[in-house]
Structure 1
Amino acid sequence: MSSGMRAETDAIVIGAGPVGLFAVFELGMLRLKCHVVDALPAIGGQLTALYPEKPIYDIPGFPKIVATELVDRLAEQAAPFHPKFHLEASVETLARLPDGRWEVELSDGRVLIAPVVVIAAGAGAFGPNRPPLDGLAAFEGKSVFYLVQKREAFRGKRVVIAGGGDSAVDWAISLSEVAEKIMVVHRRPKFRAAPESEAKLKALADSGRIDLVVPYQLDGLEGSDGRLEAVRVATLDGQTKSLPADILLPFFGLASQLGPIAKWGLEMDGSQITVDPASLSTNLKGVFAVGDVAGYKGKLKLILQGFSEAAMAAQAAHAIARPDQSLHFEHSTTTGVPVA
């Protein structure tokens, strides 16, 4: 294996959602460097993938903050510690080395080694529910996307959005401000989004800024070399038509499963990893779990509780990653942000 496929670090964080990002910051404040692994193509976890435009009201100091803005601020907070991200990759195996460190093998063949592993996988590893279309793989990452990372990438484009949930409706509303044309394909007139969002979508449709293609579903893709030219749609009784398009955004939700995590020898309670609530340590020394995937008596599945868990796990992780260094807890107002 080439050296480029193998890396040693202080901590491996599994999951790049909000709690995983804050764990990078907390570990960084203790001068522990991180590699971060996530199956999705962008950081932010469910906030980015499912609820990008939704306001969050229970983040301390922010009476209201949009999900994507929270992700951006967490990334900015972690940036001084230069985390290395491995996106669109999942952890396949976790094995203890003779020296006590953990070896993590990723689905892309890379191997990471660290004394500490922090599992911040939310409800599990997420991946998009892909529509069953012939030749789909050739267009993925070029003109078919399951996440929107930057709105500007869609400026002046003809965009087909498929789906009827919050993510489809939110992005249709948002991208209508920059795209040349937005077409929303859904199999029925009723959407599953928040009522106010659905009302705004239909108001934009009435004004001609968005085309509602209902009741239709995806039927095929037209184009070559990964470049989309049109999206074919069909009614339930087989009537088809072609929508000239540059981009397809299928928003059919995310598949969630613990996957290989369930086979690592961790003590589990259903789909949650059992942890010590004082340190967030699991039954495997050096492996911690934080956020929704961590379970203990009195657990609240809130982002703010995950933030607290990340801080506690980082303190406990320091003793394992730096056994020869005593840790004197200090407030950030005293220490500032350490220079990486």
Structure 2
Amino acid sequence: MQHLDITDVTIVGGGPAGLYASFYSGMRDLSTRIIEYQPKLGGKVHVYPEKMIWDVGGLTPVTGATLIDQMAEQALTFDPEVILNEKVTKIEKNEDNLFVLTSHSGNQYLSKTVILAVGGGILNPIKIDIEGADRFEVTNLHYTVQSLEHFKNKNIIISGGGNSAIDWANELEPIAKQLHMVHRKNEFTGHEAHISQIMNSTANIHFNSTIEKLHANAQGDQIEAVEIRNHETNQEEEVKTDALIISYGYERELTFIKESPLNIEIERDFFVKGTSKSATSIEGLYAAGDILSFDGKVHLIAGAFVDAANAVNQAKLLLEPDATAKARVSSHNDKFNSRNKALLRHLYQKS
């Protein structure tokens, strides 16, 4: 089904870059649509809802969950159209030079410009390769840590050796009854300070090892123990557990970009090659956040915000060549006058 409403800007992805692009697009009086594959906005930040985020300029440390709430609220300021649970499978142009975005459900969306803000693509966790493991995903086999409290006073096994596995280990070790880490290599790969922290903790580290078997409880609905094999000694050890966390990274899906008939220029397999102003090789198609690659790129949430503003500004100039190069800053922007008065009234009433 083709949606006949033609938007000025369609943003693919509802993470930090996409959410700020939505806000900034509204500041520039552009009709805006967000299409997000997940059932909620926030993007990859949902992977670490309880982790503290320190490096967003002017923002004191907040949890990932709080940051999502604040970004989403800001993104909806100018009432964009938001479409969730929709996976874009194709992007092309029609005879009217409009972008046509086709989804997995068969819906088609028309737009004058498009901003790709898909991060590293649709992220699916790499799962443990043991037959029947998926039946434990509803109980005590985890691919992310949504709540630290859920793991308090439990025997925990984390399999993996990258930054995410180490971060989770450092956060869980103080509250766990016992923590084991299983890694197939002979050393971790991550930030040195974080590695040092876990190596000097009470965690039991199993290097050169993999999980070979999962042993279920009598009811067959939970993992009761795992069998760990050391590849150097060939010794096997059975370790009791209340929770198994798998951290093997993510598979990235960017098919709709790579296979687009527009021949979007890609580099290093999954980055869209662009410019410092967020333009891509296709006129009217822009990128922001982790998906965008250019010399001097800053891979921080703050950098994603800059990419988003640049993308919107380029879209505005394409659609309205006589427009100003950028939006007027919010402290002097008439669009916020009534909102500012309401906020000030609320502030004075509280004081």
Do they superpose with TM above 0.5?
yes
Contact 2:89–2:101 (Cα < 8 Å) also in 1: yes
Mapping of residues 56-205 of structure 1, within 5 Å: 57=55, 59-61=56-58, 68=64, 71-72=67-68, 73-75=70-72, 77-78=74-75, 80=77, 84=82, 86=84, 91-96=88-93, 101-106=98-103, 109=105, 111=107, 113-115=109-111, 116-140=113-137, 142-187=139-184, 190-205=187-202
Local SS of the residue matching 1:25 = helix
Inter-partner Cα distance in structure 1 for 2:135 and 2:235: 26
Aligned to 2:336: 336
1:287 CA displacement = 2.6
Do residues 294 (structure 1) and 298 (structure 2) align? no
Two-structure CA RMSD over aligned residues (Å): 4.3
Which residue type is aligned with residue 168 of structure 2? Answer: W
Structure 2: state its 5+ residue gaps: 340-351
TM-score, L = length of structure 1: 0.72
Inter-partner Cα distance in structure 1 for 2:98 and 2:221: 42
Local SS of the residue matching 1:218 = strand
Inter-partner Cα distance in structure 2 for 1:175 and 1:250: 14
Q: Once the two structures are superposed, what CA deviation does each residue of 1:51-86 show, in whole Å capped at 9, x if it has no partner?
A: 9858765x4335x85784795453454355577474
Local SS of the residue matching 1:336 = helix
> Which has the higher Rg, Structure 1 or Structure 2?
2
Structure 1: state its 5+ residue gaps: none
Aligned with 2:215 (options 222, 228, 238): 222
Inter-partner Cα distance in structure 2 for 1:141 and 1:125: 22
Contact 1:51–1:166 (Cα < 8 Å) also in 2: no
Q: Calculate percent identity across the aligned residue pairs.
A: 21
Aligned with 1:18 (options 6, 16, 19): 16
1:201 CA displacement = 1.5
Aligned to 1:248: 244
TM-score, L = length of structure 2: 0.70
Inter-partner Cα distance in structure 2 for 1:12 and 1:137: 36
Comparing 32-41 with 21-30, greater Cα deviation is found at 32-41
- Describe the shift of the 1:104–1:219 C-alpha distance in structure 2 as closer, same or farther (beyond 3 A): farther
Number of corresponding residues: 323
Contact 1:9–1:34 (Cα < 8 Å) also in 2: no
- Describe the shift of the 1:78–1:182 C-alpha distance in structure 2 as closer, same or farther (beyond 3 A): farther
- Describe the shift of the 1:309–1:65 C-alpha distance in structure 2 as closer, same or farther (beyond 3 A): same
Inter-partner Cα distance in structure 2 for 1:182 and 1:66: 26
Inter-partner Cα distance in structure 1 for 2:284 and 2:124: 27
Contact 1:9–1:35 (Cα < 8 Å) also in 2: no
Comparing 306-315 with 74-83, greater Cα deviation is found at 74-83
